[in-house]
Structure 1
Amino acid sequence: MNNVVLMVVDAQNGLIKKKPYNHKNVIENIKKLIIMARANNKEVVYVRHDDGEGTELEKGTEGWQIYSELEPKSGEFIIEKKYNSAFHRTDLKEYLESKNTDTIILVGLQTEYCIDATLKSAFDNEYKVIIPKDTNTTFDNEYLSGEKLYKFYNYKIWNKRFARVISMEDTLNRFIID
C-alpha cells in the first residue's frame, strides 16, 4: 500500500510520564512502527495536543513535547490540535489529501479520547484505518481500568466497524513493507 501513513497521536511527555496502561509495550511497538515506516519511505505524521494555558499539555511546556523516544525527525509533519479529533479545525485532511493517503495506521494516546475521536473522523472521511494491537493506551478512571478501556474500544467498538485491529506482525508485513 503506497498511500499509507503512520499517525502518532498525543505521544507527549505529560501523558506518557504518568505511566498509562501497558505503556512500556505500547511505546516499544510505536517505536518499531516508526522505524519500519521510515525505513520503507512511509510517512510518519505526528499529532500534538495543546490543552491550554495552565495545563500539563500547555503549548511550549515540557509536558507538551513529544516523548523523546518517539520524537519526529526534521521535516516530519506535526499537526497541532486543541480538540480530541486530529481532524477538527486542523489542516490534517488537506495534508493527507495532498499525499493521496488512503490508509492510516493509528497509534498513540488516549484510547477513549483522542484516538477514538480521530479514528471516527478518519472513518467519516473515508480513510481505511488500521489499529495495531498494543499501540494505544489510556489511564484508569472512576469507572473502568485502562486495560478494560483499551479492550472495550479496540475489540468491541472499533474492530470491524470503524477500523481493523490487527497484530503488529500483520501491520508491519502488510502495510509498511513494500
Structure 2
Amino acid sequence: MTTLPDRHATALLIGDVQNDVMVGVHERERVIDNIVSLVSRARETGTPVIWVQHSADQELNFGTDGWKLLEALPVASSDPIVHKKHGDAFEDTTLEEELTTAEAGHVLVAGAQTDFCVRSTLHGALVRGYDVTLVSDAHTTEDLTKWGAPLPEQVIAHTNLYWDNQTAPGRTAAALATEDIAFT
C-alpha cells in the first residue's frame, strides 16, 4: 500500500473541469455525470473532495469565465480548491498540504485532460508515494488529431490500459470505472 506512513484515507481529486477546458471534449456529459456521481458518493462516506483549477498566461487566465469550474459540479464551500500552472497538480501548489491534512495516502483521479494534466498528476502522485486510482470513465480529452495525436477515445483507452498496469515499489495503481469505486 502507500509508502506514506499513517496515511490511510482516500481523497477524490478532480482536475481542470473548467468551462474552457471542457469545450468539445470526448463524451463530455457522461464524464460530468460520472464526476457528479463520484462526488456524491464520496460525500456520503466523508471522503475528501479536492478540486484543481489550471491557469495559464495565454489561455485560461485566472478569474475569467473560461477558467471557472463548471456550474454543474457540486463544489461545496468547504472543498479545497488547488490552483495550478503546471500539468502535475502537485507542482508548486497546495495539493500535498491538502492531502496531508486529509491523511490521504490514496488518491482517486478524475477530470481533464487525459493526455496532459490527468497523466501528469497520476505520475506525480505515484512518485510521491501515493496509491493512485484513475477513474477510467471519468476523465476526458479533446480531439488533437490535427497535431498527430490519436483519437480521443484511443487516448483515453490507452491511458486506462497503461495505468491499470502501472507498478511501483510499495504502491498500487489501478484504473476502475465509476461504479467500481468503493468509498469506505
Q: With structure 2 as the length reference, what TM-score do the two structures score? A: 0.87
1:90 aligns with: 93
Q: What secondary structure sits across from 2:20 in the alignment?
A: helix
Counterpart of 1:9 (choices 7, 15, 40) is: 15
Q: Which has the higher helix share?
A: 1
Q: Percent identity?
A: 29
Trace 1:100-119 onto structure 2 (pairs within 5 A): 100-119=103-122
Q: Does 1:80 align with 2:87?
A: no
Counterpart of 1:149 (choices 152, 155, 161) is: 155
The Cα shift of 1:160 comes to 2.2
1:167 aligns with: 177
Counterpart of 1:28 (choices 22, 33, 36) is: 33
2:48 aligns with: 43
Q: Give the aligned CA root-mean-square deviation in angstroms.
A: 1.5
2:163 aligns with: 158
Q: What secondary structure sits across from 2:103 in the alignment?
A: coil
Counterpart of 2:65 (choices 62, 66, 88) is: 62
Q: With structure 1 as the length reference, what TM-score do the two structures score? A: 0.90
Distance in 2 of aligned mates of 1:138 and 1:115? 9
The Cα shift of 1:99 comes to 1.9
Q: For residues 38-70 of structure 1, what are the alpha-carbon distances to aligned partners after superposition, in whole Å with 9 as ceiling and x for unaligned?
A: 122111000000112x42x11010000001111
After the TM superposition, list the runs of 4 or more consecutive aligned residues in structure 1 that deviate by more than 4 angstroms. Answer: none
State how many pairs are aligned: 170
Structure 1 residue runs of 5 or longer lacking an equivalent are none
